[in-house]
Amino acid sequence: MDIENLSINLATTRGSWGFAEAVEACLARGIRAISPWRDQVAAIGLDEAARIVHANGLRVTGLCRGGMFPAATPEGRRAAIDDNRRAIDEAAALGADCLVFVVGGLPAGSRDLPATRRMVEDGFSAILDYAIAAEVPLAIEPLHPMYAADRCCVNTLKQALDLAERLGPDIGVAVDAYHVWWDPELPEQIARAGRQNRIFAHHICDWLVPTNHLLLDRGMMGDGVIDLKALRHMIEAAGFHGPQEVEIFSAENWWKKPGEVVLDTVIERFATVC
């Protein structure tokens, strides 16, 4: 195991720690890559978060998250665009590899998924030049189809890449095992993403059987059914060799355990099943 290739998404230790405590625990274990959430950065302050990152030479594999473009009104959509510009500023201050996007789902009262998807594309179009000027790569994260209604209407890697191609060369994707593992077109779409140099992040956790909550019951690597090594081989063969970022939402299990136990388990599983 090369611990340089392990990144901790700070959602994983959300049950125990804020930004500074999580970084300290990572550094104590030789982990030098993280991916924080905007609320965690805001809680400590952007300047202090950036200071910690730069003072410790941390790699920030992504900032979570931009997106949530669709809204029922033009004002709502403009507010989302403004907020995404602020997220780009924050990612720039942290020197993040990318800003990760959860693009948003149906506006309240809407059943129009095609129109919602157009709002997402319009949102990206409105912020792309700003991101390029800030030198912040944007990573569209296709989310599992079970989130299409309320969280993210980009639901396959193919769909994300089709969108990225329409937007131009300066936007890519985050490939998260949890969201894409089921996809029968995964091998060819990962290869396609690689050919276009659009793989900006590689997230891992596991799919549990049974899964007891649609959002907050993700598994530790090795506890579920995803063939994580096969996925890693596909992603590496496609030319992405950045860290694997561990992102586990687990309200009833891992978030209730001490952060130290979570991190030590992540390290052990990273060495054996990823």
Residue 226 CB, nearest approach to a copy of itself (Å) = 7
Residue 155 CB, nearest approach to a copy of itself (Å) = 6
Determine, following the binding rule CB under 8 A, whether residue 249 of this chain makes contact with a copy of itself: no
Residue 130 CB, nearest approach to a copy of itself (Å) = 27
Applying CB under 8 A, what is the total number of residues that bind a copy of itself?
30
- In the complex with a copy of itself, which residue's Cβ is closer, 127 or 177? 177
- In the complex with a copy of itself, which residue's Cβ is closer, 32 or 179? 179
Selected from 146, 167, 216, 251, the binder of a copy of itself by CB under 8 A is 146
DSSP helix/strand/coil, 147:
helix
DSSP 205-235: -B--SS--STTTBPBPTTSSS--HHHHHHHH
Burial category of 134 from C-beta neighbours within 10 Å (exposed 0-12, middle 13-18, buried 19 and up): middle
Q: What is the dihedral of CA 47, 52, 54, 56, to 10 degrees?
A: 180
Q: 259-273 and 19-28 are packed helices; what angle lies between their axes, rounded to 10 degrees?
A: 50
Hey, which residues between 48 and 107 contact a copy of itself (CB under 8 A)?
Answer: 106
- In the complex with a copy of itself, which residue's Cβ is closer, 47 or 252? 252
The pattern of x and - marking residues 100 through 139 that bind a copy of itself according to CB under 8 A reads ------x---xxxx---x----------------------
Hey, which residues between 177 and 206 contact a copy of itself (CB under 8 A)?
Answer: 181-184
Residue 145 CB, nearest approach to a copy of itself (Å) = 4
Q: Which residues contact 181 (CB under 8 A, 6 or more apart)?
A: 207, 226, 227, 231
Two tokens, residue 47: 């300047």
Segment contacting a copy of itself by CB under 8 A, of 25-33, 88-96, 140-148, 242-250: 140-148
- In the complex with a copy of itself, which residue's Cβ is closer, 42 or 237? 237
Two tokens, residue 185: 């077109």
**Which one-letter DSSP state was computed for residue 145?**
G
Question: Considering only CA atoms, which of 62, 20, 55 is closest in space to residue 40?
Answer: 20
- The whole-angstrom separation of Cα 19 and Cα 13 is 10
- In the complex with a copy of itself, which residue's Cβ is closer, 19 or 207? 207
Residue 15 sits at the vertex; the CA angle it makes with 12 and 21, to the nearest 5 degrees, is 80
Selected from 7, 12, 84, 156, the binder of a copy of itself by CB under 8 A is 156
Residue 229 CB, nearest approach to a copy of itself (Å) = 9
Look up residue 173 and give its amino acid.
Answer: V
Interface ranges with a copy of itself (CB under 8 A): 106, 110-113, 117, 144-146, 148-150, 153, 155-156, 159, 181-184, 207, 209-211, 214, 224-227, 230
